[in-house]
Amino acid sequence: MRIGELARTTGVEVDTIRYYERAGLLSAPKRSDNGYRTYAPGDLARLAFIRHCRALDIPLADIQRLLSIVDSPESDCGEINHLVDLNLARVRARLASMQALEQQLMALRGQCATPDKASACGILHELVAAAQGEACACHRPADTGATSDGARP
């Protein structure tokens, strides 16, 4: 099969396939007499494996290592577990970061309860204040219920 057919079959762009070849994830394909790349069923399977790993957001360096393990089926799978554990930790860190971002945006959103003129918009006031180096609602500690003198109501 030629590169266009491989791209259509796997849903991977032609340029990406070429990149994977340059990066060593895919072997250099055979060439037909007219110079076109020709791919075998094994190339299709390998590219589908890479695509699935990328869909799981596994970095290319980790995919390279996984492919080397695939190529050595007698090797220990402990490294595979380690790679997946590292990726899980990375995803969990991103989730925590996204949850913090959600809280910041909710705090910012809370600054403008009803639509009004832009000059009265609490969100814009907060964003301008932050741009001027002041603490914005989205970066201030959560309201503890204390009054301005520090006493609780």
Over residues 11-30, the pLDDT tens digits come to 999 999 999 999 999 998 89
Residues 47 and 84 in one domain: no
Q: Is the predicted pLDDT of residue 1 greater than 50, yes or no? A: yes
Assessment of whether the complete model's pTM goes beyond 0.75:
no
Q: Is the predicted pLDDT of residue 69 greater than 70, yes or no? A: yes
Q: For the segment 85-125, what is each residue's pLDDT rounded down to a tens digit?
A: 999 999 999 999 999 999 999 999 988 888 888 888 889 98
Domain housing 117: 80-131
Residues 10 and 60 in one domain: yes
Q: In which band, very low, low, confident or very high, does the pLDDT at 142 lie, cut at 50, 70 and 90?
A: low
Whether 96 is covered by a domain: the verdict is yes
**Domain total for the chain?**
2
Residues 68 and 85 in one domain: no
What pLDDT sits at residue 152? 37
Q: In which band, very low, low, confident or very high, does the pLDDT at 144 lie, cut at 50, 70 and 90?
A: very low
Whether 139 is covered by a domain: the verdict is no
- Can you give the CATH number for the domain in which 26 is found? 1.10.1660.10
What is the three-state SS of the chain?
A: CCHHHHHHHHCCCHHHHHHHHHHCCCCCCEECCCCCEECCHHHHHHHHHHHHHHHCCCCHHHHHHHHHHHCCCCCCCHHHHHHHHHHHHHHHHHHHHHHHHHHHHHHHHCCCCCCCCHHHCHHHHHHHHHHCCCCCCCCCCCCCCCCCCCCCC
Residues 28 and 87 in one domain: no
Whether 52 is covered by a domain: the verdict is yes
Residues 68 and 93 in one domain: no
Residues 20 and 48 in one domain: yes
Whether 53 is covered by a domain: the verdict is yes
